Structures are given as structure tokens and as C-alpha cells.
Amino acid sequence: MSLLKRLVPSKQGISNAVNGFGTLSSCFLHSALDSSVQLHSQEQEVVIALGSNVGNRLHNFNQALHLMKKSGINITRHGCLYETAPAYVTDQPHFLNSAVRAVTKLGPHELLGVIKQIEKDLGRTKGIRYGPRPIDLDILFYGRFRIDSDRLTVPHERIWERPFVMAPLMDLLGSDIESDTVASWHSLSIHSGGLFETWQKLGGECQIGKDGMRRVLPIGNNLWDWSEKTSVMGVINLTPDSFSDGGNFQSVDSVVSQVRSMISEGADIVDFGAQSTRPMASRISPQEEMDRLIPVLEAVVKIPEINGKLISVDTFYSEVASEAVRKGAHLVNDVSGGQLDPNMTKVVADLEVPYIAMHMRGDPTTMQNSENLQYDNVCKQVASELFSRIESAELSGIPAWRIIIDPGIGFSKNTDHNLEILMGIPTIRAEIGRKSVAISHAPILIGPSRKRFLGEICARSAATERDPATIAAVTTGILGGANIVRVHNVRDNADAVKLCDAMLKRKQSTR
């Protein structure tokens, strides 16, 4: 019979938790009762770690998540995705590692049986301990219980010495202690300061990028480490009425020529939009949007220059996203964050592509009305509203490791709001981090290019005259922590990006 101890954290321990990624101000007190309760009768929140270094590692992860959901393990939150050097047995390929939070009615040993069957179904055999495996699933936490039996130990006995486990575990938390269950997990740490202190003792965020451990985002069959350089996204509008370049790219040949030009000037990503989202723009149907978009995609994917570059589709329609990915797009860029098409996040989850979730209130016809421009603290409220939409996307099946966030400069924001966001990216990250460390680490995209607020500040009525102001805005954003800049003028902004990256690397090297 297993020995289970129910942990009851003190309310004082919860209320004294600090907001941040350092240590907790007091340890979590608990009492323990030995019991043999029937756990399967109620839902328990669990944490399960994932690892893979044999075969198609990402496919193994996707299959494991799918089989978990089918088996009564309902995933609610995902950690970031890490590529890590092997531990213990070092002569083997690099691993992918992550972790998930979930709820289940399975008892602890039932849960163990289910994940061992999933490992077997995905081809795992006994092999060498700590050796190569297509999938490795470990129960890190089970409800508010400590479990010690001949088959199962919870928390996992070696969790405290493994950065590749602790990093994704931390991602599943927020700097705020959200529940007694999370407080009990902190109480199980070997350090009085809870899991925060344990992670710091292992090196904390300083571990990322060192000792063979990097945070990555999967795109196609590649893993993108967005910390290496800021990416430039070139904008191509296929619409007759967009505010900056509407009507300029109405033929396939003109678009192909512009793509070639942007790539030669330094674009890493090309973003195609076939629906105008300028203020008061009228909405076109999904079919009309696809009629503009699909012929262009079919032509662009054939040009040799696009090899090694990424294609993004700017749409809030799920059926457009689906067809665009089928034709070769790598990312879905949704200005509504899933608000204008209830099927969008589920479709993107099934497509298994990165999802750019942007903040906007209302839609293009209402986003600039007085109600949607009311903020008490724009950075904190944008962060909170974005997190709510991303949380829904995760519940639909889009892992945190496929999320890119965009605070939506120019969308339901006035000039002052846009300036606050450009200067407030660290605040946005920190505010999101109160609820989810994983999402706070997601790449941030900013798109100030040629926006009206730049014209208001610089007295430039024509959008094409706002490129110098765009460069200043992009520079501010990058130095504040943006990872992708979406611009019309690739050449000049690419130079600004190179300078910002050089300054950031110089700053890091002198620490």
C-alpha cells in the first residue's frame, strides 16, 4: 500500500509570498496525515515532465500530449520548450524537455500506469537508465500529496538537482501563489524559500543559454532560439485599402518582387495580410481573403530566396489560417487573439504552428471608440487581457512553447498608450509573469511601423514619411526586450536591429 501525506500549507505562508522570481519570504508550514484515501473520486492537479531525444522529438511530444488527453489527463498549462544536453549518460543526442500542469481523476498509481503505457505506445523500451528514449514522462507533483511507495515517489526524487526539470516546472507557476495546491508544491522544496529558491540555487534564469540548455520555439522541423538575434518581419499588404501600402501589391509578380527585395534587405519573416485592419476598415469574407492570399503564397513558396525564411499569415479567420498553412505558411498572426473567430485557437492547435496573439479590444470598426480606449494602467491591463486570451488558447491545445505575444501598438490605443507600451515591455513581461512564468518568457513582437501616433508626434501626415520615427520606436522596443519587429521598411530597420543587438550583446558580455 502506498503511503500518502496530505500537505496543508499555512495561509500565512501564502500571503507572505513575494511577487517575483526570487525567494519566498517565509517557508510553507504544513501538517501531514498518513492515509489510504480513494483519490480517484475527485480531481487532482498534477505536474508531469516530458523528455525526448530519439526520433522526431517534437512529434513524440505532440503524440504524448494527445494520448494524455485521451486518457483522462486534461492539460491546463504548458511550460516552455528546452533543448538540453544529456545528463548522467552524456554520449547521446540532445533532449527536448518541458512539463505540463493538468487535472485528472486518476489515482496516483493509475496515473503512473497510464503514462507508462503511453511511453510504451510511443516505442520506449527499458534500455539504459538515463539513456536515449523516444519519450520520458515523470510525475513531479500529485495534488497536495507526498507519495512514497515501492512504485512511485512524489515529488520525483531527483527533481532538485536537474535544471532541465526545474526550468519547465518553474514555467508552470506564477510569481503570485495562486492556490493552496501550488503553495503545497513550494512546501515540498528542499529549500525554505520554496521552488523559487531551489531554482535560484541551480542558477535560475542564468542557466538558460549556458551548459547546453536553451529555450526554443518549434517552427516546422526547426527549433528557433529567439534570444540569438532580433528578428525582422517584413509587412506585405495584399489589400487595396491598407493605411501604408494599400494597392501597391495587387499582382502576384509585384508581391514576388517585393518579397525578394525584403529578403535581400534582411527580412527573416514575411507577413502577408489580405484583410485591412486599419481603424474603421470594413470586413471582407474568408473566401475573399483567400482569393487574394492563396495565389501569392503558391508563388512565393516556389522562389529560392524564401528557403530558410519564415512565412506568416495575418488573419483572424480560422479557415484562412488553415488553408494558408496548407500552402506553406509557418506562423499564424491573429490581431484579435482569438476573439473574432471562436474556432481559431482550436484550428491553430491542430495545425501545430506558432500563434501570434495580439491585444486588441473590439474589432477594427470599434477598437478606437472611447470605451475601448479606457485604461487605468495600459501595460498592466494589456498584459492581463493578453494572458486571459493566451490561457484560452492553451486550453484549446496551443502549448506555451508555440505562443508569440504582441501588445498591439495602435490597436485600441491612443498616442500616450502606444508610448507607454514601447517603454513598458519589461512591465508587460513582469505582469504576465505573476500568472505564468512560461508566457512571460514568450517572444514579444512589436509593430509600430508607420503608425498614426508617429505621425501625430512628428507632424508627418504621410505614412511613408514616418520611417525615421519607426526606427526610433523599434530601437526603444528592442532595448526594452522585444524579440521581433514588424516593419514596412526592412532595409533601414534591419540596420537599427543590428545596432541594438550589438549593444545588448555588449551589455551582456560586461556583466
Task: Report the catalytic residues.
Answer: 451, 486
Per-residue CA distances from 121 to 1, 127, 136 (Å)? 27, 15, 12
Exposure letters 4-30 (e unless 16+ CB within 10 A, then b):
bbbbbbbeebbeebeeebebbebbbeb
Give the containing element (helix H, strand E) for 344. Answer: helix 344-351
91's CB contacts (< 8 A; 6+ apart) are none
Q: By C-alpha distance, which of 394, 380, 475 is closest to 432?
A: 380
Query: CB-side exposure of 58: number of CA atoms within 13 Å?
Result: 18
Residue 207, C-beta contacts closer than 8 angstroms, at least 6 positions apart: 163, 167, 213
Which residues lie closer than 8 Å to 78 by C-beta, 6 or more apart?
98, 99, 100, 101, 171, 172, 394, 399, 400, 401, 438
Residues facing 270 on adjacent strands = 234, 311
Whole-number Å distance between alpha carbons of 297 and 273: 11
* Beta-strand pair 310-314/331-334: parallel
CA distance 403 to 352: 11
Number of H helices, E strands in the chain: 17, 19
Contact predicate 23/200, CB 8 Å: yes
> What length is written for the chain?
511
Tell whether omega for the bond before 279 is within 30 degrees of 0, i.e. cis. no
